[in-house]
Structure 1
Amino acid sequence: MSKTFDVIVAGIGGMGSTACYQLAKRGVRVLGLEKFEIGHAMGSSHGLTRILRLAYFEGEAYVPLVQRARELWIETGKLTGEPLFFEVGALDIAHEGSGIVEKALEASQAHGLEHELLDRDAIEARYPFTLDRNHVGLYQPQSGFVASERAILAHTALALHHGAEIHGCEAMLGWEPTAGGGVRVTTDRGSYEAGRLILSPGAWIGELVPTLKPSTEVVLQTLGWFAPARPSLFDLSHFPVFTLEADEGHFYGFPLWQHPGFKLGSPHYGGEAYDPDTPSREPSPRHREQLRACLAKHIPGANGDLLGLKACMYTMTPDEHFIIDTLPGHEQVIVASPCSGHGYKFASAVGEALAELATTGSSRFDLGMFGLSRFS
């Protein structure tokens, strides 16, 4: 006989781990299933850190969600006694007129966010960048980064503390609706039933919901760590997280933290199509060259010896917005994937929203822009 739960969560990454915690603390009988080990490096959440920006140039509708996420990252860090959010500030740098800084400025003004508009000379006087003549930037002091790997383990620990059942190294093979309006989930170790199913498997969403395959694309991204000539220039006490639109691509980076190297991410729009079932995660040689080109031109003080490379995956939608919605025809199934390469910062708030959807049928946030109907 299948073991029965109120909610099953498939995929214990950034959003799935948070959903398990939020459900368990509400007294919900929840099962979390993860095909790899908890805190693995096969998906989209590893590499130590993820940026949290409040002034969101991707759309100001995201701002209330990321503001709540910031509150929850801080709250969870206090609960676990280990900080998860580090307020080091964020700097978006782009060519004037490209729309990136302009949209971030609009979001700041619309939501009353603290911000500072900087020209190229002001940025170079303050930070170790070498920029193009028409580069401008928007600085956001209340932004920073999230300890992404630490946060998944923290949320999983809290979920277990509140009574959740979490199974690592157990692959979900499929699901089907039950006669009572619930769902039956089959794994490589057994089967389980629940009233609700939350699917947050990242790059594997197309396997579990085949109708979403045409609307998603998995691409490879590369993270690099490089030895800086003067580490003090990149210390988190005065160097922010940043995004940088340049001729070489759209990069992002971090101050030094938990690693002797300066972390730089390969171009957001330079992804290479990738099969998530590839057994290893080999970084892209092309991305490695792009990282070096960016450092040589724009951050020469960090263009030292290569200390490490990691590959991760983005799962993209055509409009690069998230998917958070119930599955048409199967309202007991909630889809929370993919996140198009910019979702981790929201994970704490999205997990809360998923718990609300699974228990009450609605969320405090307007999730309309993430609906599946836009792909019809």
Structure 2
Amino acid sequence: MNGSMTGPTTAAPTARFDVAIVGLGAMGSAAAAHLAARGVSVIGFDAYHPAHGLGSSHGDSRLIRLGYFEDPSYVPLLQRAYANWRALEGRLRDEILTITGVLQIGLPDSKIVSGTLKSSDMYGLASETLDAAALRARHPAFAIDDDEIAVLDPQGGYLRPEAAVMGHVKLAVADGAVLHFGEKVTAIRPQAEDITVETATGRYSVGRVIVATGSWITDLVPDLAGKAMPIKQVVAWYQPADGFLTTPQRMPAFIRDEGEDGSYFGFPAIGVDGVKVGRHAHFMEEIDPHAPNPPVNARDTDLLDAFVRRRLPTAAGLRVRATTCRYTMLPSEDFLIDLLPSDPRIVIASPCSGHGFKFTSVVGEILADLALDGGTRLPIGAFSFEAMNRFIASRGTRAELENPTL
């Protein structure tokens, strides 16, 4: 069966597909590819063009690592994700995942360092601990305090997000998926037999629906209002003062625990713009997902400039550019990947709380499992509505966590 990729359509209301996917960013495009590869009739919708700049899947690079400090329960999913990324590369005959190693830097008892070591020990992952002197000798781009250490994940590196999204789109279409870009879904209406998906220009009958709309998730899943919070994320690129020190061979990608100042991430000079740096969740500044991305301002760049001066003094010089993207955060900063409690024919795949892109290749597989079988063998119990609501009941919503006076 031949697929197609089109703009808005006036398909007849009787058009029927096994699965509809709403949102064709990272997770939606991966789900489309996995479902189409299984011979399922798939239709996908996105209000914009592939790999557009209003979501969370642009900006040249995304970290990937195995020793996951957030929680060891993520490691099996990462192991599957690595295998799926390599399988995607095999079909595309293109490189998506590049290994540079990832350094996790901070005090020995910091969350990032201790969590990485815990995950590595639990799963027998390769890692190497460097004291301050060893890090300075081996990777002189980094400034490190005498009481800090670094844990090297030798299997870490970076992904090319735009290439990954476009690759999944390409394979989905090649395997028969029908993808409509520039066509916004306005309603999902469950019926007794099928589900009707409505857009401004068409109505479609489907058996199952996957909703993966990122920062717009509450438009179609009002249960997540007040829980899924879109925020402004800023990253900047710096032209290195010493280009020799910032090549991927000499400067691994990194995450840095700055204690009360949060955590920062960055990449070696993998493109013409140089070293890329960002602060996880930036200022946790809520945005309107229906408005254009807020512009980068002086407060944004002052934060990143100060970090670069302090922690990458020889690696970065002139700031070349800075841009805004979006995170969509849950209070727990975990994912939400589950069947909608009120109708298990609808699968929810969002938000990913600012650290989900590396899992895209396995989340696509999970979403295909959930849509077709109502379950998956892969471990996603921590990403359920029940787990989210349990956390909120004990700790509060994101807004309450950020403002305890609420």
Same fold (TM over 0.5): yes
Instruction: Show the counterpart of 2:223.
Output: 211
Query: 2:345 pairs with 322, 332, 337, which one?
Result: 332
Displacement of 1:269 in angstroms is 5.3
Q: Is the 8 A contact 2:337 2:384 kept in 1?
A: yes
Residues 1:273 and 2:272 are matched in the alignment: no
Displacement of 1:185 in angstroms is 1.0
Q: For 1:112-136, what per-residue CA distance to the aligned partner results, in whole angstroms no more than 9, with x for missing partners?
A: 1100112222212211111223222
Q: Is the 8 A contact 1:281 1:310 kept in 2?
A: no
SS at structure 2 position matched to 1:272: coil
**Mapped partners of 2:293, 2:114: distance in 1:** 40
Displacement of 1:280 in angstroms is 4.1
> What letter is aligned with 1:71?
A
> What letter is aligned with 1:211?
D
Residues 1:305 and 2:318 are matched in the alignment: yes
Displacement of 1:284 in angstroms is 4.1
Q: Aligned runs of 1:83-122 on 2, under 5 Å?
A: 83-122=95-134
Query: 1:193 pairs with 183, 205, 208, which one?
Result: 205
Query: 2:28 pairs with 16, 19, 26, which one?
Result: 16
**Mapped partners of 1:344, 1:210: distance in 2:** 24
Q: For 1:245-274, what per-residue CA distance to the aligned partner results, in whole angstroms no more than 9, with x for missing partners?
A: 125431100112233321111343532111
**Mapped partners of 1:123, 1:20: distance in 2:** 43
Q: For 1:152-196, what per-residue CA distance to the aligned partner results, in whole angstroms no more than 9, with x for missing partners?
A: 00000000000000111111111110121x311111221112110
**Mapped partners of 2:283, 2:263: distance in 1:** 8
Q: For 1:329-348, what per-residue CA distance to the aligned partner results, in whole angstroms no more than 9, with x for missing partners?
A: 20100000000000000000
Q: Aligned runs of 1:117-156 on 2, under 5 Å?
A: 117-127=129-139, 128-156=141-169
Q: Is the 8 A contact 1:223 1:311 kept in 2?
A: yes
RMSD (Å) for aligned C-alpha atoms = 1.3
**Mapped partners of 1:372, 1:231: distance in 2:** 47
Q: Is the 8 A contact 1:292 1:303 kept in 2?
A: no
**Mapped partners of 1:116, 1:164: distance in 2:** 44
Instruction: Show the counterpart of 2:398.
Output: none
Runs of 4+ in 1 over 6 A off after TM superposition: none
> What letter is aligned with 2:131?
D
Residues 1:366 and 2:396 are matched in the alignment: no
**Mapped partners of 2:280, 2:370: distance in 1:** 34
Q: Is the 8 A contact 2:67 2:125 kept in 1?
A: yes
Q: Aligned runs of 1:66-81 on 2, under 5 Å?
A: 66-81=78-93
**Mapped partners of 1:59, 1:120: distance in 2:** 25
Q: For 1:199-236, what per-residue CA distance to the aligned partner results, in whole angstroms no more than 9, with x for missing partners?
A: 00001111110111121111101010111011121112
TM-score of the pair, normalised by structure 1: 0.97
**Mapped partners of 1:118, 1:208: distance in 2:** 47
Q: Is the 8 A contact 2:32 2:44 kept in 1?
A: yes
SS at structure 2 position matched to 1:265: strand
SS at structure 2 position matched to 1:366: coil
Q: Is the 8 A contact 1:249 1:270 kept in 2?
A: no
Q: Which runs of 5+ in 1 are unaligned?
A: none
Displacement of 1:106 in angstroms is 0.9
Q: Aligned runs of 1:157-176 on 2, under 5 Å?
A: 157-176=170-189
> What letter is aligned with 1:72?
N
SS at structure 2 position matched to 1:58: coil
Displacement of 1:2 in angstroms is 3.6
Residues 1:296 and 2:313 are matched in the alignment: no
**Mapped partners of 1:279, 1:242: distance in 2:** 30
Q: Is the 8 A contact 1:90 1:241 kept in 2?
A: yes
Q: Which moved more, 1:49-58 or 1:238-247?
A: 238-247
**Mapped partners of 1:226, 1:238: distance in 2:** 17
Q: Is the 8 A contact 1:221 1:284 kept in 2?
A: no
> What letter is aligned with 1:55?
G
The alignment of Structure 1 onto Structure 2 pairs a total of residues equal to 375
Instruction: Show the counterpart of 2:6.
Output: none
Q: Is the 8 A contact 1:96 1:135 kept in 2?
A: yes
Residues 1:283 and 2:283 are matched in the alignment: no
Instruction: Show the counterpart of 1:238.
Output: 250
SS at structure 2 position matched to 1:226: strand
Displacement of 1:328 in angstroms is 0.7
Q: Aligned runs of 1:40-59 on 2, under 5 Å?
A: 40-59=52-71
**Mapped partners of 2:239, 2:164: distance in 1:** 26
Q: Is the 8 A contact 2:19 2:206 kept in 1?
A: yes
Displacement of 1:240 in angstroms is 1.1
